[in-house]
Amino acid sequence: GEDVEQSLFLSVREGDSSVINCTYTDSSSTYLYWYKQEPGAGLQLLTYIFSNMDMKQDQRLTVLLNKKDKHLSLRIADTQTGDSAIYFCAEGDSGGYQKVTFGTGTKLQVIP
Amino acid sequence: EAGVTQFPSHSVIEKGQTVTLRCDPISGHDNLYWYRRVMGKEIKFLLHFVKESKQDESGMPNNRFLAERTGGTYSTLKVQPAELEDSGVYFCASSQGQNQPQHFGDGTRLSIL
Residues of B with Cβ-Cβ distance to A44 under 8 angstroms: 104
Instruction: Please give the pLDDT value at position A94.
Output: 64
A74-87 confidence digits (pLDDT tens): 999 999 999 999 99
Residues of A with Cβ-Cβ distance to B95 under 8 angstroms: 98
Asked if A88 and A72 touch (Cβ cutoff 8 Å), the reply is no
B21 closest CA partner among B51, B47, B55, B50: B47
Instruction: Please give the pLDDT value at position A1.
Output: 55
Q: What is the DSSP letter of A58?
A: E
Longest dimension (CA), chain A: 44
Residue with the larger pLDDT of the pair A2 and B12: B12
**What is the number of alpha carbons within 13 Å of residue B18 lying toward its C-beta?**
8
A42/B91 touch (CB, cutoff 8 Å), yes or no: yes
CA of B21 vs chain A CAs: smallest distance (Å) = 15
pLDDT at A96 over 60: no
Instruction: Please give the pLDDT value at position B39.
Output: 81
B23-42 confidence digits (pLDDT tens): 999 999 999 999 999 987 88
In angstroms, how far is CA A69 from the centroid of its own chain? 16
Q: Which residue of chain A has the CA closest to B96?
A: A97
Say which residues have a Cβ less than 8 Å from residue A54's Cβ, sequence separation at least 6.
A64, A65, A66, A67
Q: What is the mean pLDDT of chain A?
A: 90
Instruction: Please give the pLDDT value at position A97.
Output: 58
Report, as an integer, the average pLDDT of A49-61: 92
Instruction: Please give the pLDDT value at position B17.
Output: 97
Say which residues have a Cβ less than 8 Å from residue B59's Cβ, sequence separation at least 6.
A99, B35, B44, B45, B46, B47
Instruction: Please give the pLDDT value at position B100.
Output: 81
A88 closest CA partner among A27, A41, A56, A28: A41
Residue with the larger pLDDT of the pair B62 and B2: B62
